[in-house]
Amino acid sequence: MINFEENTFDKKQIEMDIMNSNPDYNLISKNKETIEEQDIIEEFQESKDLNVVRLLVKNDQNYIGILDYCLSNLSDGKTWISLFVIHRKYQGNGLAKKVYIQFENLIKEKEKTAIRLAVHQINQQGIRFWNSFGFTKYKELIYNDKVHYCLEKKIGN
């Protein structure tokens, strides 16, 4: 059973384990294969500044992923997923799909009408994943010197 649990600083080792199981993603997003404690500290501070909800994802008793989101982004009032990462050993078996569906249902309950996210242009696996849920590109931007696609999915109750 998929559950969401608040990601607090005392669980930073769990976050580092999940992130570091995905060195290819770390290379795309952070220009390095291994995330360090200082990177986690910066993520917590940035999330606090931007009013981001940081969640750890559990399947039964196992931590399998991270899902960070902002319910109402300051720039557009939309719900944004800022991080969605599944531990490498739990990939390829449909768990990511279950996590996203449960998250979307959570957002629908909050009466939001859309979910947005940005994905690195070179992250073709991520683009295919989000497209499979009906996310479509509505703009392209450069952030931290990297091209990102902004994707959106309209959701209804």
141 in a domain, yes or no? no
Its domain, for residue 55, covers 2-112
What pLDDT digit, counting tens, does each position of 12-61 carry? 999 999 999 999 999 999 999 999 999 999 999 999 989 999 999 999 99
123 in a domain, yes or no? no
Place of tokens 């994905």: 119
64 in a domain, yes or no? yes
149 in a domain, yes or no? no
- For the chain, give the secondary structure using H, E and C: CEEEEECCHHHHHHHHHHHHCCHHHHHHHHCCCCCCHHHHHHHHHHHHHHCCEEEEEEECCEEEEEEEEECCCCCCCCEEEEEEEECHHHCCCCHHHHHHHHHHHHHHHCCCCEEEEEEECCCHHHHHHHHCCCCEEEEEEEECCEEEEEEEEECCC
Neighbours of 86 (CB within 10 A): 24
**Cα angle value 118/121/127 (rounded, 5°):** 70
- CA distance linking residue 45 with residue 77, whole number of Å: 21
- CA distance linking residue 72 with residue 96, whole number of Å: 23
| Model confidence pTM above 0.75 | yes
CATH number at residue 57: 3.40.630.30
Closest CA to 69 of 97, 94, 99, 35: 99
87 in a domain, yes or no? yes
157 in a domain, yes or no? no
55 in a domain, yes or no? yes
What pLDDT digit, counting tens, does each position of 65-101 carry? 999 999 999 889 999 999 999 999 999 999 999 999 9
Q: What pLDDT was estimated at residue 101?
A: 96
43 in a domain, yes or no? yes
CA atoms within 13 A on the CB side of 30: 18
Q: How many domains does the chain have?
A: 1
